[in-house]
Amino acid sequence: MPRITVARTSADATVAVDRIACDGRGLCAALLPERIGLDEWGYPVVDPRPLDRGTALEAVRICPVRALYLREEAAAPDARAKAASSGR
Q: How far apart are alpha carbons 4 and 85 in whole angstroms?
A: 39
Instruction: By CB under 6 A, name the one of 16, 25, 52, 73 that touches ligand SF4.
Output: 25
Going 49 to 52 to 56 to 59, the CA torsion angle's sign is negative
Rounded to the nearest 10 degrees, how much is the dihedral formed by the CA atoms of 6, 12, 53, 26? 80
71 binds ligand SF4 (CB under 6 A): no
Shortest Cβ 36–ligand SF4 spacing (Å):
7
Which residue number, 47 or 83, has a Cβ lying nearer to ligand SF4?
A: 47
Instruction: By CB under 6 A, name the one of 4, 13, 32, 67 that touches ligand SF4.
Output: 67
Contact between 28 and 38 under an 8 Å Cβ cutoff? The reply is no
Judged by the rule CB under 6 A, the positions of this chain that interact with ligand SF4 are 17, 22-28, 44, 63, 65, 67-68
